[in-house]
Amino acid sequence: MPAFQFTRLPRSVLIVAGDDRKTFLQGLVSNDVNKVSADKALYAAFLTAQGKFLWDLFLVEQGDTILIDVDQASAETFKKKLSLYKLRAKVSIEMSDLAVFAVWGGDGTLPAGAVADGRLAEMGGRIYAAQAPAGLAEAPLAAWDALRFALGVPDGTRDLIADKSLLLENGFDELSGVDFDKGCYMGQELTARTKYRGLVRKRLLPVRFDGDAPQAGTPLLAGEVEAGEMRSGGVGAGLAMVRLEHLRAGTPLTCGGKALSVTVPSWAVLPEAD
């Protein structure tokens, strides 16, 4: 039986406290904050008012507070953005000294202290602690990425583009990152319209190739026609934004001079052709 592995992620943790914490966050993120719990990290996104992606988030209840797991490099910017919307809400927003550790493998039963990753069971869980978990095998970030690539799960920092990406092109619907029944939140209109009008024309999907990954942003080509764009990648595998018309046509694709194959994860639901 494979042992549990863990790696520290380049993420930071904010702590939101106060009587209005759920109401405050409910109007700002894509998922239903009333579903936040202590044993599963609620996946969500923070959008622009126009519905474009800014940050991917994980929310966890801890006593009378909510932990928000967010990209480390822009955590202070995110905190300032949240603070702009406080107005008279009874909330406080503070940075914590907690680190974020991804943990996966084993027999599927999470180790002590871990909360389940709210996207897929195969993604394991997350541990929020000041110290690395004891008794688990430490793995490089590349091992975590290899799991993401195999499952087709995005990293918001590397696979989505701020002020440009749409949630439904990146699997947020099937990965339980959007609640379409919660009511209004910032950016909700475009996300709902994309779903109900069937406007998804491309998707982030797992790709395989020989050797090192093409650089992020390298175009995918179907002959001489642009068919998508490389996003994050490692040796032999990665994720790319793929135009669905070329996927359906079965056209051979290349990227950076390399032949490239595309797979559709079992969890993904692609729209039918027009």
Interval 213-236: pLDDT, tens: 999 999 999 999 999 999 999 999
- Burial zone of 195 (CB within 10 Å; 0-12 exposed, 13-18 middle, 19+ buried): middle
pLDDT of residue 198: 82
Burial 196-209 (b: 16+ CB within 10 A, else e): eeeebebbbbbbbb
DSSP 120-140: -GGG-EEEEESSPPTTSEE--
147-172 pLDDT, tens digit per residue, is: 999 999 999 999 999 999 999 999 99
Residues in CB range of 4: below 8 A, 6 or more apart: 103, 104, 105, 106, 111, 124, 136, 137
Q: In the chain, where are the structural domains located?
A: 4-159, 201-267
Domain 201-267 has CATH 2.40.30.110: yes
Q: Give domain 4-159's CATH superfamily.
A: Probable tRNA modification gtpase trme; domain 1 (3.30.1360.120)
28-54 pLDDT, tens digit per residue, is: 999 999 999 999 999 999 999 999 999
> Residue 95: what are its φ and ψ, rounded to 5°?
-75, 145
Q: What is the pTM of this model?
A: 0.95
For the segment 189-210, the average pLDDT, to the nearest whole number, is: 94
Q: Please determine whether the domains at 4-159 and 201-267 fall in the same fold group of CATH.
A: no
106-145 pLDDT, tens digit per residue, is: 887 899 999 999 999 999 999 999 999 999 999 999 999 9
